[in-house]
Copies of this chain bind each other. A is one copy, B any other.
């Protein structure tokens, strides 16, 4: 166990689309001291690209299905354009980084999601993180930048939830570092009132979380995000915060997850 804090930061796809905010975020990120990892989403870029290429987005029960064309577009945009552009920007800010997907160095191994009621297509659920490989990069002061793509042991690339990638990285690396997890998304944190952006719940513990679930205050995208948070808190991550693109700045309003 190293006497170092590792910061694992997830930046949501929608924030990447706002050039100005994203540039400020990357400055904040590159200024973080000590070992750090960035995980990015892709926002609407893949949807736009699929549309331009004439690929139809397949939906079942309102959920997006990753068919082979979608997977190609995701590898091109998330794994290629967005990932490499972020690395280039970080290099320009003197943050030595490396752009990875789960296949690289067998860093994020997944299994293809089983077909039950719905066949989600080329979607992976994380099975193993290669902490040794990742910490060897961190030891060289290199910052890994992950696209949300994993790989099966058989060498199949799979679309993977970015929040889960961030949570599993923070959990796995908590055996080596004191790991912290930061989710940056469109809101300032978990909101008491979905239509009031300033109703941020500053401290959220398991009891309050369960109460909010019962009251249906938490819905849509926040459901898996908070599930990931409490899983991570349970499994060794020492600090978890949720906020907007300014989350890494001092005094930013945000939600802190408590045990």
Q: Which residues of A contact B (CB under 8 A)?
A: 49, 52-54, 72, 75-81, 83-85, 87-93, 96-101, 103-106, 133, 136, 140, 142, 149, 151, 154-157
Contact (A84, B53) CB under 8 Å given A76-B76, A91-B106? no
Return chain B residues, CB-CB under 8 Å to A140.
133, 136
Name the contact of A80 in the complex, choosing from B81, B98, B133 (C-beta under 8 A): B81
Contact (A149, B92) CB under 8 Å given A77-B76, A98-B104, A105-B142? no
Which single residue of chain B is at the shortest CB-CB distance from A157? B88
Q: Is the CB of B103 within 8 A of A151?
A: no
Name the contact of A72 in the complex, choosing from B75, B81, B91, B98 (C-beta under 8 A): B81
Question: Which one of A98, A100, A142 has the highest number of Cβ atoms from chain B below 10 Å of its Cβ?
Answer: A98
Q: How many copies does the complex hold?
A: 2
Return chain B residues, CB-CB under 8 Å to A76.
49, 76-77, 80-81
CA separation between A157 and B83, bound complex, in Å?
A: 12
Return chain B residues, CB-CB under 8 Å to A93.
155
Return chain B residues, CB-CB under 8 Å to A81.
72, 75-76, 79-80
Q: Is the CB of A83 within 8 A of B80?
A: yes
Return chain B residues, CB-CB under 8 Å to A54.
52
CA separation between A157 and B86, bound complex, in Å?
A: 11
Name the contact of A103 in the complex, choosing from B72, B84, B105 (C-beta under 8 A): B84
Contact (A101, B84) CB under 8 Å given A106-B96, A140-B133? yes
Return chain B residues, CB-CB under 8 Å to A98.
100, 104-105
CA separation between A87 and B157, bound complex, in Å?
A: 10
